Amino acid sequence: MAKPRVFVSSTYYDLKHIRANLEAFVSQLGFEPVLFESGDIPFLHDRALDSSCYDVIPGCHLFVLIIGGRYGSTASSSNSIQAKKGNLSPEDQNDLYKFYNSITSEEYRTARNNDIPIYIFVEKGVSSEYLTFKENRGNDKIRYAHVDNVNVFLLLDEIFSQQRNNIVREFEKFDDISFWLKEQWAGLFGDFLAKKKSDSSISDLATQVQSLSQTVAALRSYSEAIVRKVEPDAKKSSALIKSVEDKLAEEVIFSNPLIRYIRRESEKAGMQNIDAKTLSQRIASNENATGFLNSIVMPEATRQHLNKQEVIEHVEADFLNCRKKLWESKSAESLFENAPPVLINIGDSLDATPRAPIRLNKRDVGAPNRPQKASSRKPKHAQEKSNKESDAPTVKANPPKPTTTEKKTSRPERTSASKNK
């Protein structure tokens, strides 16, 4: 079974006790810790050592960064992610204010660029002096007690400047780290289970929707059969069914968010809106939203907004959804076959106001308004039953036999008569 891999990043000599405790903690949770001193990273002989660390990070699921008072060794220039000012000599590294990139900072940037969840812990003394550094930024005369280089503070500046994935906690002892990681990873697992449950509910909902779609299709067929039964004239019944389907297609068109937005912006610009039939033809004759938008004339500001990179995906989704619903209607076959690719001007068409849902009544389907007389004619099966009964031979009825009660009452009378004799 695959285990979540947790990469531990920090300087080694000043935080090796924290790293050892963290390795044991991660293993107890059933996760797989990744630390270079434990042999979890394969180092290649033809590359710099730190580059092997960067290569392992994208394959990890979680990243724990521990920041103490040391900034760490210089990152190799061959695999550095950000532009650096070059490798420094040991004398330059001892300079408190000399800038360079360390291996730890490059590991953090690699995890951030791969969008791996990052959990950052800062020693309490370093965190306190970071506040002092912010108040005296630019003053290179100050000597700090808890850090060997101000690049530690610059790394914290970089972390806090991120919009997300920059959770930072102070710690004094290892228990501060372990307790908080337990809480965070338990919440992460809870969110995962909730998402799985939500996915299952969505799947069940999709199945129900599909079942409802089949039911609606069956009800539509039954309704059309009833209309054709009530109205024997084929032309009239077909025309009535066609008019209802057109009205339903109109409801599909005007309930779409994209169409509503275009109509609203056209009204604001003083342009008359395009009718539902023409809109249906334009939607049917184009396979994507770009073609549809080019087939109608609308305010230029509206067109520019709909073509923005951050909006076009939603526009395409709304268009395809409307096209799918339109295709599902029975009257759509002629639209998709005969729709001419003609440029339509919204200003040349009449306003089509959305209507209320259509309800069929007796007058719609051609039924007579006067009440029908009750027919005295018997159903065929009842008539046949009646004929069979009349053809059956007549049988004389036998006289009724005495009931059980009568027999009981007659016995005592015969007994008393015999006694008198």
- Number of domains comprising the chain: 2
Q: Which of these three, 137, 152, 172, is where a domain ends?
A: 172
Q: Would 411 be classed as within a structural domain?
A: no
pLDDT over 90 percentage in the chain: 29
Q: Are residues 126 and 14 in the same domain?
A: yes
What confidence score (pLDDT) does residue 110 get?
A: 94
Higher pLDDT, 117 or 376: 117
Question: pLDDT tens digit string along 366-375?
Answer: 444 444 444 4
Q: Are residues 105 and 29 in the same domain?
A: yes
What confidence score (pLDDT) does residue 81 get?
A: 40
pLDDT at position 278 over 70: yes
Mean pLDDT over 257-267 rounds to 83
Q: Which of these three, 172, 191, 217, is where a domain ends?
A: 172
Q: Are residues 162 and 18 in the same domain?
A: yes
Mean pLDDT over 76-88 rounds to 47
What confidence score (pLDDT) does residue 377 get?
A: 54
Mean pLDDT over 276-284 rounds to 77
Mean pLDDT over 313-339 rounds to 67
Mean pLDDT over 220-245 rounds to 71
Q: Which of the residue ranges 161-175, 244-258, 262-276 would you say has the lowest mean pLDDT?
A: 244-258
- Domain containing 52 equals 5-172
pLDDT at position 87 over 70: no
What confidence score (pLDDT) does residue 421 get?
A: 40
Mean pLDDT over 222-227 rounds to 73
Mean pLDDT over 391-406 rounds to 49
What confidence score (pLDDT) does residue 215 get?
A: 76
Q: Which of the residue ranges 86-100, 336-350, 388-402 would you say has the lowest mean pLDDT?
A: 336-350
279 — pLDDT class (breaks 50, 70, 90): confident
Q: Would 79 be classed as within a structural domain?
A: yes
Q: Would 413 be classed as within a structural domain?
A: no
pLDDT at position 238 over 50: yes
Mean pLDDT over 281-288 rounds to 80
Q: SS3 sequence, the chain?
A: CCCCEEEEECCCCCCHHHHHHHHHHHHHCCCEEECHHHCCCCCCCCCCHHHHHHHHHHHCCEEEEEECCCCCCECCHHHCCCCCCCCCCHHHHCCCCCCCCEHHHHHHHHHHHCCCCEEEEEEHHHHHHHHHHHHCCCCCCCCCCCCCCCHHHHHHHHHHCCCCCCEEEEECCHHHHHHHHHHHHHHHHHHHHHHHHHHHHHHHHHHHHHHHHHHHHHHHHHHHHHHHHHCCCHHHHHHHHHHHHHHHHHHHHHCCHHHHHHHHHHHHCCCCCCCHHHHHHHHHCCCCHHHHHHCEECCHHHHHHHCCHHHHHHHHHHHHHHHHHHHHCCCHHHHHHHCCCCCEEHHHCCCCCCCCCCCCCCCCCCCCCCCCCCCCCCCHHHHHHHHHHHHCCCCCCCCCCCCHHHHHHHHHHHHHHHHHC
What confidence score (pLDDT) does residue 79 get?
A: 39
Q: Would 179 be classed as within a structural domain?
A: no
What confidence score (pLDDT) does residue 119 get?
A: 96
Mean pLDDT over 29-56 rounds to 89
Q: Are residues 243 and 168 in the same domain?
A: no
Question: pLDDT tens digit string along 130-179?
Answer: 999 999 888 888 888 889 889 999 999 999 999 999 999 999 999 999 99
Q: Are residues 156 and 263 in the same domain?
A: no
Higher pLDDT, 201 or 357: 201
Q: Which of these three, 322, 348, 374, is where a domain ends?
A: 348
What confidence score (pLDDT) does residue 248 get?
A: 66
Q: Are residues 284 and 164 in the same domain?
A: no
Q: Would 266 be classed as within a structural domain?
A: yes
Q: Which of the residue ranges 10-14, 120-124, 179-183, 309-313 would you say has the lowest mean pLDDT?
A: 309-313
Domain of 133, CATH number, reads 3.40.50
pLDDT over 70 percentage in the chain: 67
242 — pLDDT class (breaks 50, 70, 90): low
Q: What is the mean pLDDT of the chain?
A: 74
Mean pLDDT over 4-8 rounds to 95
Mean pLDDT over 394-413 rounds to 48
Q: Are residues 17 and 166 in the same domain?
A: yes
What confidence score (pLDDT) does residue 184 get?
A: 93
Q: Are residues 62 and 163 in the same domain?
A: yes
What confidence score (pLDDT) does residue 387 get?
A: 53
Q: Would 252 be classed as within a structural domain?
A: yes
